[in-house]
Amino acid sequence: MNKRIAVLTGGLLVVMVSLGAEKKKPILGYTDTPKLPSGWCVHDIDRPQPPVVTPAGQIGQPPSDAIVLFDGTDASAWEGTVQNNPKKKKYNPEGEMRWKVENGYLECTPTGDIKTKQKFGDCQLHIEWQTANPPHGDSQHRGNSGIFLQDRYETQVLDNYNNPTYADGMAGSVYGVKPPLVNACKKPGEWQVYDIIFQAPRFDGDKLISPAYVTVFFNGVLVQFNEPLLGTSTHRKVPVYESHGKGALRLQDHNNDTRFRNIWIRELDLTKDDTKPE
């Protein structure tokens, strides 16, 4: 084939392909397919489009629909825990937030737990934490804090780098119930990252309809997968549920100077997709 014929043939092909593309409308979905258990057809054209969320340029930073709970300087989303007994060391009748904000982090002081003013249900939480370097204390007394979803359900925070303790109290554990799948703890002094997906329990009056479930990534490593919770976290007892609505995110004061930064949350409704088509 000489050059001229090749160019002509190529041009014809381009014309044919572009004509074909103009004629053919893209298939965006179907209405004649069998139904899924959800009630939607397979590839249903009417199934609602998920909303657009703009991811952050750097992974770990808040995406467009996140509520930023601590950006390094502003701790106004937080309040202290009310303690009305003047004889107690952590006496705090107004519930003031008394943790330290400095150098881009929030540091636990021995003044009681802090919690968000806003309450949450199902959610995705990103939180970074750091324990003291050099470390001090052993077992449960080394960098202990905790992340309590809905003010009740603790994902343990602990310096577990060469620090043996009971397995269901390790960093990344569902405290008192389920050890992490692996120990992904970095050295003390390094920033550690939790990404937590939490499905709140469902109640009908006082009756539990569905337990809470938690999935936890610890420094990017899966340590809990959709783990069903037994109830409100507790020490040396089997947890039980008590009926409740949305709850604050609470950070524990365990008398260790653990630090937190880059805290953001996305509100979710993890049962929404079960909604049947109208």
Residues contributing to the site for Mg ion (CB under 5 A):
144, 146, 252
Give 150 or 252: the residue with its C-beta nearer to Mg ion.
Answer: 252
Q: How many alpha carbons lie under 13 Å from residue 5 in its C-beta half-sphere?
A: 2
Give 66 or 127: the residue with its C-beta nearer to Mg ion.
Answer: 127
CB 34 within 8 A of CB 232: no
* Whole-number Å distance between alpha carbons of 255 and 253: 6
Give 30 or 166: the residue with its C-beta nearer to Mg ion.
Answer: 166
Give 232 or 266: the residue with its C-beta nearer to Mg ion.
Answer: 232
Give 250 or 266: the residue with its C-beta nearer to Mg ion.
Answer: 250
Give 195 or 253: the residue with its C-beta nearer to Mg ion.
Answer: 253
Residue 183: C-alpha distances to residues 173, 226, 230 (Å): 10, 18, 22
Peptide bond into 134 cis (omega under 30): yes
Buried b (16+ CB within 10 A) or exposed e, 59-84: eeebeeebeebbeeeebebbbbbebe
Which stretches of 172-228 are assigned E, i.e. beta strand? 192-199, 202-204, 207-210, 213-218, 221-228
Q: Find the shortest distance in angstroms from Cβ 39 to Mg ion.
A: 43
| Main-chain phi, psi angles of 82, to 5 degrees | -65, 130
Residue 240: C-alpha distances to residues 9, 123, 208, 217, 269 (Å): 76, 22, 10, 25, 24
Sign of CA pseudo-dihedral 175, 178, 179, 180: negative
